[in-house]
Amino acid sequence: MRAGIENFIFDLDGTLVDSLPGIEDSVRFAVSSPIPPLRSLIGPPIRSILRCLEPDLSELDLDGLTKRFRKAYDSTGWRNTILQSGTTEVLAELHKRGRRVFLATNKPARPTTKILAMLSIGQYFAGVSTCDSRTPVFASKTEMLRALLQCHSLDPTRCLMVGDTVEDYVSAVETGMDALIVSNGYGRPLEIPAECRLETLTDLLSLLDGPETRSKQMPGQVFEQAISQFARGEIT
């Protein structure tokens, strides 16, 4: 981790919380048929997840499927969210040390607000950015992070993105931030450079007082390959 990090920007699903049970229940309600395990699909907005499950649907039918999911998830599905191990410990320690903490999530504002309140972690965040924090909604997490940096006048060289997917990593690098990716989330950690991976969230604490041990960004060739694969949908 680069020296001088003052601001920590966290992803939500898979990084700070485990929302898989509620998402799977709500997807089952939406599609009304058996579904495969969704762990590897979690991360992008729900519309993208549903498109992966139903690739032949028209945009209109996909709209209906998304609305059915939102009805189920916003009413009861979000209640099945639990904290990832170490979440409260890490957020409390960063707060104690005077670091500013932010949230950037592809989840909409309504369930995000409810989850943060239910799990008693909302007080730690100096700012929260969701997929619908603006109209039109953010087209990518990179857009979201750029808007967050601008809104709070943050220097990207003093920010660290902590997530669990390639999208989180790519978005951070594209905005000039360092990134660390937890290996126990929903992404594919082996597709992230080893020096940018954490086994668990609590491993972040051991880096706070240590020397600079993380590279600013992935080597050019590897980064370009990851961008290309991400754009083609080969990695999520």
- In whole angstroms, how far apart are CA 173 and each of 38, 57, 163, 197? 26, 34, 12, 14
- What is the model's pLDDT at position 236? 44
Instruction: Give the tens place of pLDDT for each residue, 16-43.
Output: 999 999 999 999 999 988 899 999 888 8
Concatenating the DSSP letter of every residue in 33-89 gives S-----GGG-SS-HHHHHHHH-TT--HHHHHHHHHHHHHHHHHTGGGG-EEPTTHHH
Residues 122 and 64: their CA atoms lie apart, in Å, by: 31
Residues 105 and 164: their CA atoms lie apart, in Å, by: 11
- What is the model's pLDDT at position 218? 44
- What is the model's pLDDT at position 120? 98
Residues with Cβ within 8 Å of residue 114, at least 6 apart in sequence? 78
- In whole angstroms, how far apart are CA 220 and each of 145, 174, 189, 223, 226? 21, 12, 18, 5, 10
Among residues 196, 189, 199, which one has the least CA distance to residue 235?
189
Helix (H) or strand (E) holding 8: strand 7-10
Give the Cβ contact number of residue 70 at 10 Å.
18
Residues 214 and 195: their CA atoms lie apart, in Å, by: 6
pLDDT beneath 70, residues of the chain: 1, 210-236
Residues 182 and 174: their CA atoms lie apart, in Å, by: 19
Among residues 132, 134, 142, 129, which one has the least CA distance to residue 103?
129
pTM, entire model = 0.86
Contact status, residue 184 vs residue 162, Cβ threshold 8 Å? no
